[in-house]
Structure 1
Amino acid sequence: MTSRRRIITGHTAEGESRVASDRLVDPLTSPGLPGVEMLYLWGTDEPRTYPDDGEEPRWTQHFPPVGGLRFVTFTLPPAGFEAPEGADSEEAQAHARASFPGLLETYRDDQPGIHTSDTTDVAMVLSGEVVLGTTDGVETVLHAGDTVVQNGTAHSWTNRSDAPVEMLFVLSGARREGDA
């Protein structure tokens, strides 16, 4: 994945709209998730109030809380991708936890690849082919242009093709019944 241009608008003190930021955003990688790239384009942990100056809000976790939002692309390597030696080391896993805070903690130990978050994930496949797996055993193949709304369900993403797959996500924080 390459860097992506991101433009953020805001308001002047007089209430006029303006371009507050125009820059390239680089993808993040980690030896603990070999071949995976995340490009965090924008995020907030609470609803926005306008007018604002267009400054990027601060946030710290991969998944947003209720009222929060993330805008991110995700790239999975092709099937047969060889993870480099040491990718599963404690050091590599610690790096992945630091790079993508809160992400690895959502994965199940008993079902590789299956994870659950308290978010509504609106996703589109930008390129490639990916398999959405659910815990009922159903696998749904998605191609470029296909979309999915993932409603806080346990799921996995698998790339069985010979090319990387890139997906675009908008993650919106949600409440899970029984949570305070």
Structure 2
Amino acid sequence: MNRAIAVRIPRRVVTGIKDGKSVFVSDGPTANAHVYDAVPGHLTSVVYATAAKPVLPQDHAEQAPPQIMVTPEPGATKVMIVVFPPDSVFATVDHKAAFEEQAIHIPGLIQAFEPDAPGMHTTDTVDYDIVLDGEIWLELDDGAETLLQQGDVVVQCGTRHAWRNKGERPATMCFVLIGAERKS
């Protein structure tokens, strides 16, 4: 784990049912969280995943183990917490090493990123994107941008986009990815 810039691993609390009563199934650090050595201050964490048709009560097995495919199948969901260091950090990293590390920890998602357009990517998902802390810019494929601040929500409908942290401190976001089918 990179200790050059302290990044908090998200706490995850999961509830369930035992003997007909609500119980805490787990409470602790997210199992699928990674602080990147190649990108100081960058964290990705797949907090939880559901099937396209989840069944209740949920299985008590780990729903988002490390190296799970991040991009969900149609109807399935993934919830992620991502800490974006300032763009000035991304500008100084070894991009090959960063890609190799991200390929291990965010499979499926990292392959959606375009090598010739840093940060730009498209997924077959509808995403609910919530700024938890800091501020970040959302850039679309035509260059249009909008500044997002703490508490702002974006509904990302399978469009080509990039997240840009033009500030001097990290930005933390929550992403709820819902797998979708793209019409051709």
TM superposition score normalised by structure 2: 0.84
Partner of 2:4: none
Partner of 2:76: 68
Partner of 2:95: 88
Q: Where does structure 2 lack aligned partners over 5 or more consecutive residues?
A: 1-6
User: Contact (CA 8 Å) 1:32, 1:94: kept in 2 or not?
Assistant: no
Partner of 1:116: 122
- Deviation track 1:86-136 (CA, whole Å, cap 9, x = no partner) reads x233x5532220111112210123322110001111011111111100012
Partner of 2:61: 55
Residue 102 of structure 2: SS of its match in structure 1? helix
Higher Rg of the two aligned structures: 1
Partner of 1:99: 105
- Deviation track 1:142-166 (CA, whole Å, cap 9, x = no partner) reads 0111110000000000000111111
Count of equivalent residues: 175
Partner of 2:27: 22
Deviation at 1:32, TM superposition (A): 4.8
Q: What one-letter code is carried by the residue in structure 2 that aligns with 1:74?
A: V
User: Contact (CA 8 Å) 2:138, 2:146: kept in 1 or not?
Assistant: yes
Output the aligned Cα RMSD.
2.2
TM superposition score normalised by structure 1: 0.85
Which whole-Å CA distance do the structure 1 matches of 2:26 and 2:48 have between them? 12
Q: Which of 148, 151, 172 in structure 2 is aligned with 1:145?
A: 151
Check 1:56–1:145 CA distance in 2 against 1; reply closer, same or farther (3 A cut). same
Counting aligned pairs with the same residue, the percent is 34
Q: Where does structure 1 lack aligned partners over 5 or more consecutive residues?
A: none
Residue 117 of structure 1: SS of its match in structure 2? coil
Check 1:63–1:34 CA distance in 2 against 1; reply closer, same or farther (3 A cut). farther
Larger mean Cα displacement after TM superposition, 91-100 or 155-164: 91-100
